[in-house]
């Protein structure tokens, strides 16, 4: 199988890079750099991976996990995450992005990754199960519970904001 | 393939989440393409260097092997020649030991000087003198001595 051409690399980058950054944000303070490196690694592959999107998620996840092992980087991340970066954007004025980001941040790490990989990464439950080294049923259950939790949190916050 | 079904509220939540998109202010497509192009170029260069190095290594190995074979052959031939020469010399030596050869004398050797000075007569060991027959000292028999006549001539 041939290597990936520049045009296709650009197209893949436009389509998947934002979701990959969101996927790695909880583990790494340098999610953008990790995603760039993952794409460069993809470009340097002699043959194209069988499932490019899963491969990219896997590379980004491994790199983020390696980076998170360093205590120094963890400290940096804590300082940076305190800045409250904007993780999500929307064109719909009726939606509150910060509310959704706060809900996502409240989820446990694996559930966050499952939801991001499924909704914005476009991966199937089978691909996510393989990526996270979990059973299919566990992945589905976590996804469902995560959505429930987000829904509950957003409802609580909406009620709170409405009450004020 | 396993199909999972959600209740309506979860499906609605999923739909709501999909209306958001991840925000990535620090991602640069141009940087990615530049970096990947640079890496591809360096990779091509590395591959070429690797191919050239391998070719040189293969040629060197072949040359060395050929040289080794040639030197082995030369050594074998030399050993054969040496053995032949040695066997010839041994044969000549054996012949020379069995058949006495009239060797030419050195001009300063003892025998040559003796011959030159004709001093064979002085050396009682030299029996093979060419002049031994003519030498009076050697060939002349001692005169017979009469003991009685000698006694009479003696005066005490």
More confident residue, B152 or B32: B32
Predicted local confidence at residue B78, as pLDDT: 94
Rg (chain A; Cα; Å): 17
Contacts of A115 in chain B (CB under 8 A): 17
Q: Do residue A151 and residue B1 have CB atoms under 8 angstroms apart?
A: no
Q: Domain for residue A28, yes or no? A: yes
Q: Do residue B32 and residue A9 have CB atoms under 8 angstroms apart?
A: yes
Predicted local confidence at residue B71, as pLDDT: 95
Confidence of residue A82 (pLDDT cuts 50, 70, 90): very low
Q: Domain for residue A122, yes or no? A: yes
Q: Do residue A115 and residue B17 have CB atoms under 8 angstroms apart?
A: yes
Q: Domain for residue A81, yes or no? A: no
Same domain (yes/no): A15, A59? yes
Least confident of A84-93, B85-94, B142-151: B142-151
Q: Is the pLDDT of residue B74 over 90?
A: yes
Q: Do residue B27 and residue A36 have CB atoms under 8 angstroms apart?
A: yes
Rg (chain B; Cα; Å): 57
Q: Do residue A120 and residue B13 have CB atoms under 8 angstroms apart?
A: no
Contacts of B2 in chain A (CB under 8 A): 125-126, 136
More confident residue, B45 or B119: B45
Pick the residue of A8, A17, A92 with the most B CBs within 10 A to test the interface with B by mutation.
Answer: A17
CA distance A146 to A133: 18
Q: What is the pTM of this model?
A: 0.59
Show the domain range for A120.
95-160
Average pLDDT over residues B85-107: 78
Same domain (yes/no): A65, A10? yes
Q: Do residue B2 and residue A19 have CB atoms under 8 angstroms apart?
A: no
Prediction ipTM score: 0.77
Q: Do residue A89 and residue B22 have CB atoms under 8 angstroms apart?
A: yes
Q: Which segments within chain A are labelled E, that is strand? A: 88-89
> Which of A7-21, A131-145, B57-71 is the most confident on average?
B57-71
What residue in A sits closest to B15 (Cα-Cα)?
A: A119
Q: Domain for residue A140, yes or no? A: yes
Same domain (yes/no): A99, A147? yes
Of B13, B29, B43, nearest to A13 by CB-CB distance is B29
What residue in A sits closest to B39 (Cα-Cα)?
A: A44
DSSP annotation of B78 reads: H
Same domain (yes/no): A102, A156? yes
Same domain (yes/no): A53, A105? no
Q: Do residue B27 and residue A22 have CB atoms under 8 angstroms apart?
A: no
Pick the residue of A3, A4, A89 with the most B CBs within 10 A to test the interface with B by mutation.
Answer: A89
Same domain (yes/no): A107, A144? yes
CATH number of domain containing A118: 1.10.10.10
Q: Do residue A36 and residue B39 have CB atoms under 8 angstroms apart?
A: no
CA A98 to chain centre: 16
Domain count, chain A: 2
Q: H helices within B7-28, ranges in order? A: 8-18
Same domain (yes/no): A104, A151? yes
Q: Domain for residue A53, yes or no? A: yes
Predicted local confidence at residue A8, as pLDDT: 87
Same domain (yes/no): A57, A106? no
Residue in this structure with the two tokens 């040496």, named with its chain if needed: B82
More confident residue, A162 or A55: A55
Same domain (yes/no): A100, A66? no
Residue A51 — φ and ψ, nearest 5°? -120, 100
Of A90, A116, A144, nearest to B10 by CB-CB distance is A144
Q: Is the pLDDT of residue B32 over 60?
A: yes
Q: Name the minimum distance, in Å, from the CA of B2 to any CA of chain A.
A: 9
Would you call B21 exposed, middle or buried from its count of C-beta atoms within 10 A (0-12, 13-18, 19+)? middle
Nearest to A118 by CA among B80, B130, B151, B15: B15
């Amino acid at each position: 199988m041939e290597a990936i051409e520049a045009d296709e690399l650009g197209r893949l980058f436009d389509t998947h890079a934002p979701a990959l950054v969101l996927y790695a944000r909880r583990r790494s303070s340098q999610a953008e750099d990790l995603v760039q490196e993952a794409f460069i690694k993809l470009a340097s592959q002699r043959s194209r991976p069988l499932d490019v999107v899963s491969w990219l998620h896997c590379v980004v996840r491994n790199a983020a996990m390696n980076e998170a092992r360093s205590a120094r980087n963890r400290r940096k991340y804590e300082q940076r995450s305190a800045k409250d970066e904007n993780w999500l954007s929307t064109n719909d004025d009726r939606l509150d992005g910060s509310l959704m980001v706060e809900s996502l941040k409240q989820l446990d790490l694996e559930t966050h990754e499952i939801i991001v990989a499924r909704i914005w990464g476009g991966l199937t439950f089978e691909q996510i199960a393989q990526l996270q080294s979990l059973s299919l049923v566990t992945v589905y259950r976590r996804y469902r519970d995560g959505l429930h939790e987000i829904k509950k949190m957003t409802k609580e916050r909406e009620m709170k904001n409405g009450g004020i | 393939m396993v199909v999972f079904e959600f209740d309506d509220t979860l499906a609605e939540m999923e739909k709501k989440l999909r209306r958001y998109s991840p925000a990535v202010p620090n991602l640069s497509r141009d940087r990615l393409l530049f970096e990947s192009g640079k890496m591809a170029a360096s990779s091509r260069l590395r591959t070429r260097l690797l191919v050239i190095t391998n070719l040189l290594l293969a040629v060197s190995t072949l040359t060395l092997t050929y040289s080794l074979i040639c030197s082995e052959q030369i050594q074998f031939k030399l050993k054969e020649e040496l053995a032949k020469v040695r066997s010839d010399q041994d044969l000549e030596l054996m012949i020379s030991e069995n058949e006495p050869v009239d060797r030419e004398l050195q001009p300063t050797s003892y025998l040559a000087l003796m011959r030159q000075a004709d001093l064979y007569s002085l050396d009682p060991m030299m029996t093979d003198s060419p002049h031994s027959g003519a030498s009076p000292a050697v060939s002349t028999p001692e005169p017979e001595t009469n003991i009685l006549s000698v006694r009479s001539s003696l005066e005490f």
